[in-house]
A and B are shown apart, each in its own frame.
Chain A
């Protein structure tokens, strides 16, 4: 059974943004040409990349908080493991 087309259904990967990632914001070279350099993205060439706040970084390794997260994450995983079966 095919899924009915829905306006919400992506025709690209759900997280796609459109044009291919290019190195440094420069226009993509013409099709099939040889480009020098690389289509590489660095933190400098992608200034709008989301970054964690200092508190987020701190909490990632703050043991009391992580003990709680250990319990919560395990609970979420057990829910998935015990998911629907047939």
Chain B
């Protein structure tokens, strides 16, 4: 009998748990530890944030699903990893803690860390729902954003002008794509509510160019040319009357303005009445201990609390970055029974070239590891763990982001006949200039297009992935 423990029930952890349970025998146990009672299909949170969906449409309770499929569920936060057990017994275990403060030791044979990010609103003064800006990172945050939007629309209907600021709240944020979706959906919704003429919308980002999305942008064949993605993003914003600020590090969010520094070192301000700014991420802050109680956290985690895996973490300049730097199996180099999946694994470096202002401020999008890659990595790790339980000496499957493509649909307005979305595919996610010397990616498999079809696909994906996450009949046939 083997015990697989999965920390986190997000896209990666839930996928890993579902496949591990499907592939393992009844004598083996799969346990999921998550502080959240519900599963959240995060890509649709943007629609909650503009009032088009209710939280119940993007979430469902985890416990009944896990009970139906024989997965043990502990609603608690993981606190500590003891990879060699303790002084009394050598069985590895994690320490979890419920919201009420009760702590429990959960033993494991294989541990998959899929805890996702800690939302670091604290990195920027005044950032976040407890400060002066909004977020759509969780359903609760999205509801707050929706309520604030309703209030702003009310003011516009009374004749007031409103300034909307949407983007990222720190120079090292990731998830620019989600903020971008929120910006264009907000614009669409203001038009639908017939108050667009009273709104000034500004996009603020740490990207060097629009359309970077933390993956160095991409190039597409269009109209006989190979064109960069910033051209399409600028076009989309200009067409919709959205202004933009690039290469920005937001340093402070006051009640009605943000202070930010741009890459030229200048300190600037932007006033707002409504600000939705996503936070930077870090790992959740798990600690690791040796049997004698010594803190060995740095053996398992980097300083940003993301987990070390089989990546090349040697510091090197962007000119020396290589596809081989990126992890393939997501196995901890310190302990073969520990893996990390999704946002929890530490990337070796950025994908976009990082920049520093003359003041020493790092303004660089962090690499995205959400959505399709996150689920793909979760499934791959589960496959390797199951094979190792059955006798394999090491991980049997790999899913390097330098060898993996991704499909993404970014909503640009939700309506069955007038909505649009940008449908994109990119291959590989991490550019490989050895294989594709000119642009780093295969242009036959990298494309983007804006249209109503994209919105239909986005709706289809919403329902399809929630069906899959509920582990309904045939769920495993639906791709990641």
Contact = CB atoms under 8 A, between A and B. Distances in A.
Contacts of B321: 2-3
Interface in A29-79: 29-43, 46, 49-52, 57, 59-63, 66-67, 69-70, 73-74, 76-79
A34 B321 CA distance: 35
B4 interface: no
A70 B265 CA distance: 45
Nearest to B240: A43
Interface residues of B, number: 80
A63 B452 contact: yes
Interface in B401-454: 403-407, 417-418, 420, 423, 425, 427, 431, 433-434, 437-440, 445, 447, 449-454
Contacts of A84: 403
Interface stretch (B144-152, B243-251, B301-309): B243-251
B270 interface: yes
Contact of B264 (A29, A37, A57): A29
B286 interface: no
Contact of B425 (A13, A29, A80): A80
Given A41-B244, A70-B457, A32 B437 contact: no
Contacts of A16: 208-209, 353
B196 interface: no
Interface residues on A, range: 35 or more
B451 A15 contact: no
Contact of B241 (A31, A35, A38, A43): A43
A70 B407 contact: no
Contacts of B128: none
B217 interface: yes
B234 A50 contact: yes
A4 interface: yes
B433 A6 contact: yes
A82 B449 CA distance: 20
Nearest to A56: B450
B452 A12 contact: no
A60 B265 contact: no
Contact of A28 (B216, B264, B316): B264
Contacts, number: 197
Contacts of B238: 43, 46, 49, 51
Given A41-B244, A43-B241, A13 B217 contact: yes
Nearest to B456: A70
B219 to A, nearest CB: 7
A49 B452 contact: no
Contact of A1 (B208, B245, B324, B480): B324
B439 A14 contact: yes
B262 A61 contact: no
A58 to B, nearest CB: 11
Contacts of B265: 29-33
B358 interface: yes
Contact of A61 (B318, B372, B438, B451): B451
Nearest to A73: B423
Given A32-B358, A42-B243, A66-B451, A15 B217 contact: yes
Contacts of A62: 452
B318 A39 contact: no
Contact of B219 (A14, A17, A43): A14
Contacts of B420: 60-61
Given A38-B245, A38-B269, A84-B403, A61 B433 contact: no
Most chain B beta-carbon contacts within 10 A, residue among A12, A49, A51, A63: A49
Contact of B247 (A21, A32, A59, A61): A21
Contacts of B404: 83
B319 interface: yes
Given A2-B320, A49-B234, A22 B433 contact: no
Interface of A: 1-6, 8-17, 19-22, 28-43, 46, 49-52, 57, 59-63, 66-67, 69-70, 73-74, 76-86
Closest 10 CB pairs of A and B: A15-B228, A31-B358, A70-B453, A80-B405, A69-B453, A31-B265, A77-B407, A43-B238, A66-B452, A28-B264
Given A2-B321, A2-B322, 4 more contacts: A9-B440, A14-B439, A80-B425, A81-B372
9 contacts: A41-B244, A50-B231, A66-B456, A73-B457, A76-B447, A77-B425, A81-B480, A83-B427, A86-B398
